[in-house]
Amino acid sequence: MAGVDLGGTAVNYTFLTGQEQFMLEELCEYPARSKEGPEICLQQIADGLEIAASKAGVQFADVAVVGLGTPGPASAAGVLSAKGSTNFVHPGWAAFDICQNLEHRLGKPVTYLNDGNAGALWGHFVLFGASTRATSISTIIGTGLGGGVITDSNVVKGRKGYGGELGHVLIPYQSIDAIRGLKPECNCGRLGDLESLCSLTAIEKCLLPFFLRQYPGHQLGEIGDFRQAAKLVRGLAESGDSMCKEIFRVQANALGLFFDAMINTFDPDALIVGGGALETKQEFQRWFLDEIRASMPKQREEQADIPIYVMPNGDTAGARGAAIEALQFARTLGLA
């Protein structure tokens, strides 16, 4: 099986055996040419797969199914949104069936997942393998908030592929004392969804402007550009800056409220947090998980021990998740 993660700036490859072993430990990454449109980009993926296969010591001809992951919005079958998206700006991508076109080019079956769901499948696989009855909920904190719900090893894609859009689930943000008076608006238009408080965009648009008013003279206020300043919040929080830690605490609070809703909806085996926000030392990760737990309402006794994990290998998650989806499809075809 092969896994391809086509992002806005890079394309990543990985390979997975039928025995659930990954054949590339490190990242196999190339700059993505998605800005040049589908024709050039798909050819790049096909060429890149050949190169990556030789690196992994496999014949591309032996690959049974290719799993593809891309940023959305896209349908469950891999048709990109007609309105386009930030990552696929070339007009040729509008309503483009990326999955079927890649299938024609490669002459192999291609499965599709959006990158959030692919990451969630990878997080689930690390804990439980590719075939279990377990349920997990993954949240990936990046520029936005992606993630997914996995039950019985299957990604919950929903009717049109928008299942697991966890960033746009509304949370009772009014109960977070530290942001009393704040109206957290998301790019999607909702007020107080998870992404509006728990993402790099949330830090830039909402949390940093809000907290800087309470911390006059803070070094991040001197920068003048919230986008630049937002990128420095994680590092400062990790080194103990009290305002930046407070911003991360609010993100943890938001996750705690969200996970509580998921606990009552799915009674999951695991809650998983990943993404750039958690690319920190273990000590900070542990503090963040403790803050999530502390901000949940009290759980019933049977559910109080539902574990929260940090997702490993953030930068390979998309390609690996896509490969696991390919493996599951290959199994249904009797190819693995």
Residue numbers at the binding site for Zn ion (CB under 5 A): 168, 186, 188, 190, 193, 195
**CB nearer Zn ion, residue 188 or residue 294:** 188
**Count of residues in the chain:** 336
**CB nearer Zn ion, residue 173 or residue 287:** 173
Residues contacting 316, CB < 8 A, separation 6+: 12, 14, 27, 122
Smallest distance from Zn ion to CB 167, Å: 6
Smallest distance from Zn ion to CB 89, Å: 21
The one-letter code for the residue type at 27 is L
**CB nearer Zn ion, residue 95 or residue 188:** 188
* E-assigned strand segments in the chain: 2-6, 10-15, 28-31, 66-70, 110-114, 135-141, 145-151, 154-155, 270-274, 308-310
**CB nearer Zn ion, residue 106 or residue 176:** 176
CA distance linking residue 214 with residue 209, whole number of Å: 9
**CB nearer Zn ion, residue 151 or residue 187:** 187
What phi and psi, each to the nearest 5 degrees, are found at residue 235?
A: -60, -40
**CB nearer Zn ion, residue 176 or residue 186:** 186
Residue showing the smallest CB distance to Zn ion in the complex: 186
Smallest distance from Zn ion to CB 170, Å: 9
In the chain, count H helices and then E strands: 11, 10
Smallest distance from Zn ion to CB 165, Å: 8
Smallest distance from Zn ion to CB 194, Å: 8
CA distance linking residue 272 with residue 317, whole number of Å: 13
The one-letter code for the residue type at 30 is Y
Smallest distance from Zn ion to CB 326, Å: 30
